[in-house]
Amino acid sequence: MKEIQSKIEELITLSNQSVITGHFLEKLVKQDKLMDELTTMARKNKTLVGRILKFSIADGDAIYVIVRENNKTVKVTWIDYCDGYVEPFLGQGTSTMKIVMAKSYTNFEDTLESMKNHRK
């Protein structure tokens, strides 16, 4: 769990860094790598902490990482990714959402992943 927390902190720190002209793609590549690692570790540890939630907004996604899991809720932190879209109900920063909603998003992602792996 410490490794997941460390990766979450790294992702949030990277998210908060302003991009110097010409280094935008470099930041995206690092964020993608961290989000993939977090998803893999969270699945392996059977936890919601570290899972990435993506909400479709306009032509992209608003990205959040689950930073804490309670009995009925999860705390999520906004990740400034690509266009920096924000889900209106969650906003920027850290918010709380029902665990049932978080599980429905992650279950959907897990189902898609297993279908993708099944086709290989």
> What is the per-residue pLDDT for 65?
98
- Annotated domain spans of the chain: 2-119
Query: pTM (2 decimals)?
Result: 0.91
Q: What is the pLDDT of residue 114?
A: 82
Tokens of 45: 């540890």
- pLDDT at residue number 96: 97
Average pLDDT for consecutive 10-residue bins of the chain (120 residues)? 95 88 85 96 96 94 97 97 94 96 92 79
- Cβ contacts of 58 within 8 Å, gap of 6 or more: 83, 85
